[in-house]
Chains A and B, each alone.
Chain A
Amino acid sequence: MAAVQLRNIRKAYTRDHYVIPGLDLDIEPGEFMVFVGPSGCGKSTLLRMIAGLEDITEGDLHIAGTLANDVHASRRGIAMVFQSYALYPHMSVYDNMAFALKLAKTSPEEIDTRVMRAAQILQITHLLQRKPKALSGGQRQRVAIGRAIVREPKVFLFDEPLSNLDAALRLQMRVELAKLHQELGTTMIYVTHDQVEAMTLGDRIAVFNAGRIEQIGTPLALYHAPRNLFVAGFLGSPRMNLLPCTLDQSSPQGARVNLVGHHVATRRDAAGQAPGAALTLGIRPEHLSVVAGPQPGAIAARVDLVEHLGDVLLGYVEIDGIDQIVTVKLQHELPLGATVYLLCDANACHLFDADGHALPLLES
C-alpha cells in the first residue's frame, strides 16, 4: 500500500502548450482512484507520467513518500494494464507473467509460486502454455492483469482496461477487479470512460477537463453535489437536464427561478445573485415526476419518445420555449404526443451561475 502525491505537476509536449497545466492530487494508500473525463483531456498522459513512461515537465511526483520523478519506470513499484493488453505475442502466458521477475533475476521457484498464485486468482491456470493469439479478449485481459499482479506492485495503473470487451464480459471483469482490490488492498488508479465502472469501482473519482481536475470526491458526492456545470453534465447516465432560466426571487427558503414562464422552487442559496440573473437549472431525470393534470408548479410538456431500457423507462419530452429535449425517468408508459405535467423535486434541483459554479444547498 502506498500513497501517490502529485504536486503542481505540469506536462508540455510542445514548448508553449501545456496538456496538463498544473495539477495537485493526493491518493491515499489502498485507495481505488478513478479518473474520468472527455477524450483528450490528459488522463492517459497523467497515468503515463505516474508510470514513468512520460517525462514530467514540472512538478513533483511522490510514490510511497519518495520523490519518483527521475526513478525508472521499473523501479517505481508500479504495474500498468493497458487498453490494448500489450501482451508479448511471442511468449506464452506463463512467460508473459514471468518476464518481469526473470529480468529482476528472481529465483525460478519464486517465479513459479508467484505466477501460479496469480493464475489461480484469475483462473487462467489452464491457459499458461498458450500464446496470446490463442486467447479471447477477456482471457488476454486477465493475463495482462496477471502480469501486473505477479510483480506485487505498490500501485496498479489501469488505462481503460475493459473498454475492448463486450458488455457481459465487462461486467464480469468489473466485479472481479473490485474483488481483486478488496483482496490485495493495493492502491489503484483507474482511467475509464464508463460511467458505471467509475461509480461502482471508485473510492473516489477525479473528473478531468482539459488537463485540470474539475472535482474530486466519492462517487455519490460527485453525483449529488457536482461543483460545477461540467461535472454535473459529465457524470450520470442519462445526463442531468441543464436548462437555462433566470432568477425570480431569492429567499431564505431557497431561490425560485423562472423557467420560460414557469416558477420552479429550489433549495439553493442565490443570495449573491441579482434578480433576473441568468442561471442554469440542473435536474436529473429521476428527480422529475410526471403528474396527470395541471397543478401549481407543474410544467406542461409533450412526449416525444419513450425508451424501454429493461429496468428503466425513459421519456423524452419537449417544453414550449425550451429548445432542448428533457429526459424524465417514467414510472409507466406514456402515449407519444401526449401532454404531461412535470414536477421538479425542489431538494434535488441544482442551480449554476453564469460562470457554471454550483450555488450552495441551503441547510434545512
Chain B
Amino acid sequence: MFKRILLSWTPRYTLLALVGLFTTFPFLWTLSTALGDSGNIYAFPPQLLPSDPTLAHLDEARRAIPLDRFFWNSVWIAGWTVIGTLLISSLAGYALAVMKFRGSKWVFLAVLTTLILPSELNFIVNFITVTQMKLTNTHAGVVLPLLANAFGIFLLKQAFEEIPAEILDAARIDGASEWQLFLRVALPLATPSLAALGIFTLVATWNAYIWPAVVLQSPDEFPLAVGVLYLSGTFAAKTRVVAAGTVLTILPVLLLFLLAQRYFMRGLDGAVK
C-alpha cells in the first residue's frame, strides 16, 4: 500500500521539484552569490549552496547606498501605483461589465489591444508626455503613466461580470444608487480579484527597472530596483555586493507575496475559470 503510493507519487514530485528548481534557479544563484565568500562566481554549474557563508556583503551593500531612502521611494511609488491601478481598473471594469453603454464593446476591444503592444513601445510616448508635463525626475512621472492598465481593467471586468445580475437587481430594488451598488455590493464581491491585481501590480512596480530609470535622474528619487544597480557603478567589480543589494530589494515584496499568496491564487481562480 505504502509502496504503491510512493511509486505513484515519486515521479510527480520529482517533476514538480525540477520545475520548482528551474524557476527559482536565478534567485537561488543570486542568494548564494550574495551570501558566499569564496569560489568563482561564474563557475558553471554554479554553486547553489554558498561556500563560507557570510553576511558581510549584505552589510557592505547597506552601507554603500542609502537603502532606507531607496526603500521609502519604492514604497511610495509602488503604493500609489497599486492604489491608482485598483481605482481605475475597478471603475473602468465596472462600467464595461455592468453599465452597458453604446460602444462599450469597442472601448473594451481598444483596451485589450493595448495588451498586445509591448510595453517598451509606450516608453517613448510616455516619456515625451511626462517631459511635456514637466514631471521628469518626479515620482508622479513614474506613477501616472502606469495607472490605466489594460490587464487590470480586463481582470476586474471579468470579476464584475461574474456577479449574478439578480444580486445587482435586488440591490437596485433595495434602493442602492449606482454608486452604492458599486461600493457596497460589486466591490466587496470582487475582493479576490482586487487582491490579486493589487499584489500583481505591487510586485511588478517594485521590481520595475527601465521605466523609473528613464524618468528619474537624481539618485535621491531612485526606488530600490534602480538604486541597487547603482552599486554596480560604485563597486564595479564587487558582484557579490550587487547580488546582496538585489536580495535586499526582493526580500520585502517576497515576504508580502508569501503572506498574501492565498488571496492572489483565489483571485486568479475566479478570473480565468
Which residues of B lie under 8 Å from residue A82 when comparing CB positions? 166, 169-170
Check A53/B175 contact, CB under 8 A, given A88-B185, A103-B180. Answer: no
5 contacts across the A-B interface (CB closer than 8 A): A51-B169, A53-B169, A74-B173, A99-B171, A103-B175
Q: Does B188 contact A (CB under 8 A)?
A: yes
Chain A, 79-96, contact with B by CB distance < 8 Å: what is the 0/1 string?
Answer: 110111011111000000
Q: Give chain B interface residues in 174-221, CB to chain A under 8 Å.
A: 174-176, 180, 184-185, 188-189
Which residues of A lie under 8 Å from residue B164 when comparing CB positions? 84, 86
Most buried by A among B169, B171, B174, B189: B174
Chain A, 88-130, contact with B by CB distance < 8 Å: what is the 0/1 string?
Answer: 1110000000011001100000000000000000000000000
Q: Are A74 and B166 in contact (CB under 8 A)?
A: no
Q: Are B175 and A86 in contact (CB under 8 A)?
A: no
Which residues of A lie under 8 Å from residue B166 when comparing CB positions? 82-84, 86
CA distance A53 to B173 in the complex (A): 8
Which residues of B lie under 8 Å from residue A74 when comparing CB positions? 172-176
The residue from A51, A88, A104 contacting B167, defined by CB atoms under 8 A apart: A88
Q: Give chain A interface residues in 147-169, CB to chain B under 8 Å.
A: 147, 151
Chain B, 136-156, contact with A by CB distance < 8 Å: what is the 0/1 string?
Answer: 000000000000000000000
Closest chain B residue to A83, Cβ basis: B166
Nearest CB of chain B from residue A180's CB, rounded to whole Å: 19
Which residues of B lie under 8 Å from residue A202 when comparing CB positions? none
Secondary structure of the B contact surface, majority rule:
helix
Q: Are B173 and A79 in contact (CB under 8 A)?
A: yes
Interface residues of A (CB under 8 A from B): 48, 51-53, 73-75, 78-80, 82-84, 86-90, 99-100, 103-104, 147, 151
Q: Are B174 and A100 in contact (CB under 8 A)?
A: yes
Nearest CB of chain B from residue A95's CB, rounded to whole Å: 10
Nearest CB of chain B from residue A61's CB, rounded to whole Å: 15
Which residues of B lie under 8 Å from residue A86 when comparing CB positions? 164, 166-167, 169-170
Interface residues of B (CB under 8 A from A): 164, 166-167, 169-176, 180, 184-185, 188-189
Nearest CB of chain A from residue B190's CB, rounded to whole Å: 10
Which residues of A lie under 8 Å from residue B171 when comparing CB positions? 88, 99
CA distance A124 to B174 in the complex (A): 20
The residue from A84, A100, A147 contacting B175, defined by CB atoms under 8 A apart: A100
CA distance A166 to B184 in the complex (A): 32
Closest chain A residue to B166, Cβ basis: A86
CA distance A151 to B174 in the complex (A): 8
Which residues of A lie under 8 Å from residue B180 when comparing CB positions? 103
The residue from A51, A84, A103 contacting B176, defined by CB atoms under 8 A apart: A103
Nearest CB of chain B from residue A292's CB, rounded to whole Å: 56
Closest chain B residue to A148, Cβ basis: B173
Which residues of A lie under 8 Å from residue B185 when comparing CB positions? 88
Most buried by A among B170, B176, B184, B185: B170
Check A73/B172 contact, CB under 8 A, given A82-B166, A88-B167, A103-B180. Answer: yes
The residue from A53, A79, A83, A90 contacting B172, defined by CB atoms under 8 A apart: A53
Q: Are A99 and B188 in contact (CB under 8 A)?
A: no
Which residues of B lie under 8 Å from residue A80 when comparing CB positions? 169-170, 173
CA distance A87 to B174 in the complex (A): 12
CA distance A100 to B180 in the complex (A): 11
CA distance A103 to B181 in the complex (A): 11
The residue from B167, B173, B188, B189 contacting A73, defined by CB atoms under 8 A apart: B173
Q: Are B189 and A78 in contact (CB under 8 A)?
A: no
Closest chain A residue to B172, Cβ basis: A73
Which residues of A lie under 8 Å from residue B167 when comparing CB positions? 86-89
